[in-house]
Structure 1
Amino acid sequence: MADWRETCHPDIRLVFDYWQRKCAGRRMPSRADIDPGDLRRFLPQITLVDVVDDTRRYVYRLVGTREVELRGYDPTGKAVAEAFFASSAEEAIRYYDAVSKTQAPRYVADPFQAVDRFIGEEDLFLPLSNDGETVNMIMVFSISRDLFQSGDRQA
């Protein structure tokens, strides 16, 4: 994991370092360990996803205001498979599956095409666990921006 920390957005590193401190010697912290007040400036870019034991698998619990604005709608309560914001549902599910299986953070830099624009995105997927064994929630911190082709629009 050391390589991505050298090149990622500095805010990604700050959120990762916070998550690591909250681990406090455990494999992963619980949701109760995460204090929204500590992450106040990052909240608009944070998404919480429940890991559920049914066909939905991953369900949006909370979606930050910046994420809602970028998507153009609020997917809270919907399954990731139906309301994903990635190149494909399969790609999105693959990231969540990897975090759930390994119980470890995952960093992804994945530009993709949304319906009407190109998105440059860095995502940090952080596992959370109530019992220290099973991932029951994943916190995602995203740095996103529209990517415009030259001449189309100005940023």
Structure 2
Amino acid sequence: MTVDWDRIERWKGLLLENETGEIESVFHSDGARGPSIKWRPTVDDLQPKVLKFALDHWDRAVVSLGAPRIRLVDPVLLAPTLGYLLLVDVVDDGRDFAYRLFGTIAGTVSGFDMTGRMLSDHPASTYIREFSMALYRAAMLRREPVWSHYGPAMAVSTAAWERVVLPLVDDSDKVCRFLVATVPIGLDGQPLRR
């Protein structure tokens, strides 16, 4: 699958400045809604409990570890979010991203499992892939959580996808992975649990 690397880089710059107008125009031209983003959301800013839990876990780990280290990913401590979690590795300094884990609920709702695959190969619409890549690249630079929300164009059971992207650093203090809690929102406005 192809992506427009120049557009990804431009969108990264726009997202760093919290400017989504151009990106929204592309989404809207395909019948999709959004995207909306918020840098450094608080737990109170988020609606789905899964997102609240993941962000609270990240915030607490930063306080205790001094930085969002990759070792904060503990399946036992993150049990309430399992199924909704993605682990996304940075590849080639952000040229691309690899799914180390693609949550089972996200996979069931979307109809595919991206575990072990590259974001550039994601079967979603090209602009969705490009937005996600730009958002991860921007989060690498800002090194802070970011919330995003968008409504897909032709989904049968989902009205929206909502996520919080949490950057993680390695021992050299470089962003190397993202802990992502992603929640598909049903047509009734409630998180899907399939």
Note whether the superposition's TM-score is higher than 0.5: yes
1:153 corresponds to? none
* Structure 1 segments (4+ residues) deviating >6 Å: none
Structure number with the bigger relative contact order (C-alpha 8 A, sep ≥ 6) is 2
Could you tell me how far apart the structure 1 residues matched to 2:136 and 2:162 are? 15
Per-residue CA shift, 1:49-94, capped at 9, x if unaligned? 0001178520111111101101211111211121165752211111
Q: Structure 1-normalised TM-score?
A: 0.81
2:31 corresponds to? none
Uncovered stretches (5+) of structure 1, i.e. residues with no partner = 149-155
Instruction: Give the 3-state SS of the residue equivalent to 1:92 in structure 2.
Output: helix
2:130 corresponds to? 90
Distance of aligned partners of 1:121 and 1:11 in 2 relative to their CA distance in 1, 3 Å threshold? same
Uncovered stretches (5+) of structure 2, i.e. residues with no partner = 1-39, 189-194
Instruction: Give the 3-state SS of the residue equivalent to 1:47 in structure 2.
Output: strand
| Number of equivalences | 148
2:99 corresponds to? 60
Distance of aligned partners of 1:84 and 1:119 in 2 relative to their CA distance in 1, 3 Å threshold? farther
Q: Structure 2-normalised TM-score?
A: 0.66
Aligned identity (percent) is 25
Distance of aligned partners of 1:7 and 1:103 in 2 relative to their CA distance in 1, 3 Å threshold? closer
Q: Is the 8 A contact 2:159 2:185 kept in 1?
A: yes
1:6-155 to structure 2, matched below 5 A, reads 6-24=45-63, 28-53=67-92, 57-83=96-122, 85=124, 88-114=128-154, 118-131=158-171, 133-147=173-187
RMSD over aligned CA atoms reads 2.6
Q: Is the 8 A contact 1:51 1:59 kept in 2?
A: yes
